[in-house]
Amino acid sequence: MNETSTPTTATTAGNQQISNDGVQKAIRNAEDMFHQAATVGGEKAAELRERAMEQLRVVREKLHDAQDTVVMKSKAAARATDDYVHDHPWKSIATAAAIGVVVGLLLNRR
């Protein structure tokens, strides 16, 4: 079996919360800048719009990085699962059958 090191669920959830908070803050800042730009005119409005667009670009980059991380971790999990199933085929079949029986029993109860 090919073992990969992955962060704990708590650490991953904490990082996700930090990322979500950062993204939300950046979006709020950009929205505030757009609202301010709407109330003022001239050079100040252009500067505020430019800063807001920069904030949105940063958010887009953070989301793209997060997407790349999720895709990479998903592929690693799929590889690890595939390796496990190849290394332990009968155990995998028995586990799948047991899950199928449990799901069937639960659905039959309704």
- Say if CB 34 and CB 77 are below 8 A apart: no
Could you read off the pLDDT of 27-76 as tens digits, one per residue? Answer: 777 777 777 777 777 888 788 788 888 888 888 888 888 899 999 999 99
At 72 the pLDDT is 96
Global pTM? 0.54
Pick from 63, 54, 59, 49: nearest CA to 26: 59
Q: Is the pLDDT of residue 5 over 60?
A: no
3-state secondary structure of 5: coil
DSSP-assigned letters across all residues of 12-70: HHHHHHHHHHHHHHHHHHHHHHHHHHHHS-HHHHHHHHHHHHHHHHHHHHHHHHHHHHH
